[in-house]
Amino acid sequence: MKKTIIIKVSKENPEPDKIRIAADIIRRGGLVAFPTETVYGLGADALNPDAVKEIYAAKMRPPDNPIIVHIARKEDVYKLAVDIPKSGEKLIDIFWPGPLTLVLKASNIVPRVTTGGLDTIAIRMPKHEVALALIREAGRPIAAPSANLAGRPSPTLAEHVLQDLFGRIDAILDAGPTNIGVESTVLDLSCNPPQILRPGGVTYEDLKAVLGEVSIHPAAVAKSEVHIERTRSPGMKYKHYAPKAEMLVVEGELKSVIMKVRELAKYYIEAGKKVGILATDESMKEYNLGIVKSMGSRNNLASVARNLFKLLRELDNEGVDLIIAEGLPQENLGLAVMNRLRKAASYNIINV
């Protein structure tokens, strides 16, 4: 077991001495969890294969699921990737720092363990002062998947990281809750038109406005499990975001959704199950059974994105056997939210 040190740090003005402690650990090949604008990441020196191997071990992550590399200066993309298309440069200009990860052709300084054996690399520049300060002070790119055990909901609070990884990592920089709450958008630029492999903080609509044409990988919008070709985005094939409880998503028009959720909740509660309901501000008052939590407002999907993973963990901690979630519109951040909800429910979807 490792001794995990917890370092509280200011979100806006991270204290240099604290960042130095964390950066030293990274330079020595250790593991540091840190906040980004999306979720907490579990960082290691991206160019040190032994350090990156430790990430896979700590998370119990399958070795063929590649890791996103984080940089603090846009120019550094040219050290890690080659043959960057014009469209990529335009996206970097507009969306970095921010929740957009670009899949590019890897340069030869990138260890294959970082890319899960692929010849492409996923890179992003996070929009968070703590993440940027850590990368700068470490003086090298930082490989960081979400800082949860493989398969669990991504961490939006330092407490979530500690629940999963205490004793398995060297340190955590705790700067409070993350802003966006779902992970970055993963965009593959090695194909034409560019393809969204994972919807996230930068929306399809945002990308389309810049690129003209963007496709979405069928798995990212699927309502049931799809076969994934190994070479495109290995991460998509694994179980994800799963709470310990069984989970169902009810999709359709709101009125019918409410009726169905009520019926299901009543049925399972009568059968002796402890039921959690993930509702919205607009529908909360319609339920008088089970443990009801609002994900946020239907008119503010950013609030839903921010709360989602936290609520899945809360319901688990309250020991529910079953979570019934309302489906949401797939516009803007709703696409990322529905992708996470459906996966969390292992595609147990009821259409009404």
Select the binding partner of residue 65 from ligand TXA, Mg ion, none (C-beta < 5 to 8 A, by kind): ligand TXA
Q: For 116, which DSSP code?
A: T
Residue 35: beta bridge partners? 40
Q: For 286, which DSSP code?
A: G
CB 260 to ligand TXA: min, Å = 31
Among 30, 41, 194, 296, binds ligand TXA (CB under 6 A): 41
User: In Å, how far are 9, 33, 92 from 129, measured between CA atoms?
Assistant: 10, 14, 18
Among 67, 80, 275, 279, binds ligand TXA (CB under 6 A): 67
Cα distance between residue 36 and residue 53, in whole Å: 22
Contacts of 43 (CB under 8 A, 6+ apart): 26, 31, 32, 33, 34, 70, 134, 142, 143, 144
Residues 133-152 that bind Mg ion (CB under 5 A): 146
Indicate whether 308 belongs to the interface with ligand TXA (CB under 6 A). Answer: no
Taking the CA of residue 72 as centre, how many other CA atoms within 13 Å lie in the half-sphere pointing to its CB?
A: 15
| 84-92, 138-146, 283-291, 341-349 -> range binding ligand TXA (CB under 6 A) | 138-146
CB 236 to ligand TXA: min, Å = 6
**Encoded tokens for 45:** 């020196």
User: In Å, how far are 32, 61, 62, 183, 311 from 56, measured between CA atoms?
Assistant: 13, 5, 7, 18, 26
Indicate whether 156 belongs to the interface with Mg ion (CB under 5 A). Answer: no
Residues 170-199 that bind ligand TXA (CB under 6 A): 183-184, 186, 197-198
Cα distance between residue 261 and residue 279, in whole Å: 9
CB 316 to Mg ion: min, Å = 17
For residues 183 and 162, is the Cβ–Cβ distance under 8 A? no
Give the nearer residue to ligand TXA in terms of CB position, either 113 or 328.
Answer: 113
Return residues touching Mg ion (CB under 5 A).
146
Return residues touching ligand TXA (CB under 6 A).
36, 38-39, 41, 65-68, 99, 101, 103, 115, 118, 120-122, 126, 144-146, 183-184, 186, 197-198, 233-236
